[in-house]
Amino acid sequence: MPEHDLKTVLITGASGGFGLEFAKKLELLGYSLILHGRDMARLQMTMGALKHPERHCIIQADLNAKHGLISLLDAIKEEKLTGLINNAGFGIWGGFEQTGIVPQIDVIKTDLKAPIALAHALLPELIKNNGFIINVSSLAGEYPLPYMSTYAAAKAGLTYWSEALRTELDGKVRIVTLAPGPSPTGFRIISGMPNSKGSFFRTPIPVIIDACLNTLHNGGGYCIPGWRHKLLYAMQKVIPRCIGLRIMAKQMRS
């Protein structure tokens, strides 16, 4: 690990998408970063996009592997962490009965179990350092999602857990629950969703990360970034579920 006096933040899933943008923005704010992911080549690309690579380090760990979480925690046990960004995550697109159970359970492990376990292990240090946690959830956590049912269940769990924790730890550690909608990252391809022209609600990555860090700066909170995602959230709340579910099923099938 590099020697420095900077405050340190662990970003899980730093090999692209939101994680890369978090890394770029947090470096500008003067943090030292622990970049976590699985794909070393992509993690090195994130490192290459940073201005001061000597301040940061990379840790590889598969959060679905038997010892993945333990090896990540072990690698950072000497670190004085100020921030934890639970960003790593993925979804599986497809009919539930046609999709194997192993990848479905892996979604729960990476998107829900890992954030809870990491926060629990790192909380004493984060509280001591007057730190923060950002939990990257999703608007999928606000609405059941046919053809991505397990992903929505994991994100609903993450949102509820994160919001309860935020209230419980008020004044001890700042927490942001980030709930974006569709965004142009690798997520869609990795989840196996069919190609599409792109949703009207798709919002640029920098808009999402700026909104999140702004919420953090203001003491934490529930963050729905950008007007398009706010509009989608409002629709989730006002359209009767029996109609909304049919619309979602049609959209997700195609």
Ligand X SMILES: NC(=O)c1ccc[n+]([C@@H]2O[C@H](COP(=O)([O-])OP(=O)(O)OC[C@H]3O[C@@H](n4cnc5c(N)ncnc54)[C@H](OP(=O)(O)O)[C@@H]3O)[C@@H](O)[C@H]2O)c1
Question: Quick one: 53 or 103, whose CB is closer to ligand X?
Answer: 103
Cα 194 from Cα 159, distance rounded (Å): 26
Burial class (CB in 10 A: 0-12, 13-18, 19+), 218: exposed
Count other Cβ atoms within 10 Å, centred on residue 236: 16
Question: Quick one: 14 or 156, whose CB is closer to ligand X?
Answer: 14
**Listed residue (208, 37, 90) closest to 56, CA to CA:** 37
Q: How far is the CB of 3 from ligand X (least distance, A)?
A: 26
Residues forming the site for ligand X (CB under 6 A)? 13-19, 37-39, 42, 62-64, 87-90, 110-111, 136, 138, 180, 182-183, 185-187, 190
Question: Quick one: 111 or 163, whose CB is closer to ligand X?
Answer: 111
Question: Quick one: 39 or 170, whose CB is closer to ligand X?
Answer: 39
Q: In what order do the strands lie in the sheet with 8-11?
A: 57-60, 32-37, 8-11, 81-86, 132-136, 174-178, 221-223
Question: Quick one: 80 or 161, whose CB is closer to ligand X?
Answer: 161
What does R_g of the chain's alpha carbons equal in angstroms? 18
Quickly tell me which residue has 């890394």 as its tokens.
23
Q: How far is the CB of 171 from ligand X (least distance, A)?
A: 27
Position 25: which residue type? K
Q: How far is the CB of 82 from ligand X (least distance, A)?
A: 21
Cα 229 from Cα 224, distance rounded (Å): 6
Question: Quick one: 25 or 38, whose CB is closer to ligand X?
Answer: 38
Q: How far is the CB of 204 from ligand X (least distance, A)?
A: 11
Alpha carbons within 13 A on the beta-carbon side of 188: 14
**Listed residue (157, 162, 160) closest to 215, CA to CA:** 162
Q: How far is the CB of 222 from ligand X (least distance, A)?
A: 14
